[in-house]
């Protein structure tokens, strides 16, 4: 396996201002972050918070969630 | 509910529920992912778009508020001649790190430049960018870039 020398090894980056490789797509809003990605069959999760401010949990009925694909 | 509006110069008819947010329709129906969701309460500025040239937070703007108006997102701004200068100056100053706030910054700055409300002094620039938060805290480079743009 051959590995190309990095700019720092060749000296090409020394003494120069090196531009940001990722700047263009970030400036244009084209960069894809985690929240911008979709995959086939992707599921969405949601936190279900208690509707009771202070209470004692007697049991959790997860059957509706478990019935989901 | 059908809403006729203009997005990035193109007339479109959007199908949306009455309570639907502009940000969801831009990102979902139109695939314009440059507007980012973050705080969801109109304080961080990552979802900034221009409506009739004015910066608004798409996360707290209803689709129907864009009816018969003109919406500009970063994808549209990027096609304009004035973007070239913003792009060049921001890039040269390295005024972006993770880049999540950058589209919103660019849109706000473009509106400020168009309105002539920008001046080359730190206090004015900080005030003008108060609605756009950079969580990388890279403000030094951003302020330097915007001050240069204001000159």
Query: What pLDDT, in 10s, does the model give residues B9-64?
Result: 999 999 999 999 999 999 999 999 999 999 999 999 999 999 999 999 999 999 99
Chain A residues with CB within 8 Å of chain B CB: 19-20, 22-24, 26-33, 35-36
Are B36 and A26 an interchain contact pair (Cβ–Cβ within 8 Å)? no
pTM summary value: 0.85
Rg (CA), chain A: 25
Integer Cα distance of B17 and B59 in angstroms: 15
Query: What pLDDT, in 10s, does the model give residues A1-31?
Result: 566 666 656 667 678 777 789 999 999 999 9
Q: What is the ipTM, given to two decimal places?
A: 0.93
Are A24 and B91 an interchain contact pair (Cβ–Cβ within 8 Å)? yes
Helix axes B102-115, B139-150, angle to 10 degrees: 30
Are B99 and A19 an interchain contact pair (Cβ–Cβ within 8 Å)? no
pLDDT at A48 over 60: yes
């Amino acid at each position: 396996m051959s590995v190309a020398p990095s700019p720092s090894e060749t000296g090409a980056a020394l003494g120069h201002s090196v531009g940001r490789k990722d700047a263009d797509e970030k400036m244009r809003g084209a960069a894809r972050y985690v929240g911008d990605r979709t995959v086939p069959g992707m599921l969405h999760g949601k936190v279900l918070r208690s509707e009771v401010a202070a209470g004692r949990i007697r049991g959790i009925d997860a059957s509706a969630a478990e019935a989901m694909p | 509910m059908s809403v006729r509006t203009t997005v990035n110069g193109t007339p479109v008819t959007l199908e949306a529920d009455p309570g639907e947010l502009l940000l969801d329709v831009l990102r979902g129906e139109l695939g314009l992912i440059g507007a980012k969701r973050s705080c969801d309460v109109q304080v961080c500025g990552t979802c900034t778009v221009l409506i009739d040239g004015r910066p608004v937070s798409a996360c707290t703007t209803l689709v129907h508020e864009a009816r018969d108006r003109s919406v500009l997102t970063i994808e549209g701004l990027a096609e304009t001649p004035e973007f070239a200068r913003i792009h060049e100056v921001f890039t040269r100053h390295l005024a972006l790190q993770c880049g999540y706030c950058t589209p919103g910054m660019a849109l706000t700055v473009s509106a400020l430049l168009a309105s002539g409300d920008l001046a080359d002094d730190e206090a004015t620039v900080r005030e003008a960018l108060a609605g756009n938060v950079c969580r990388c805290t890279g403000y030094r480079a951003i302020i330097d870039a915007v001050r240069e743009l204001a000159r």
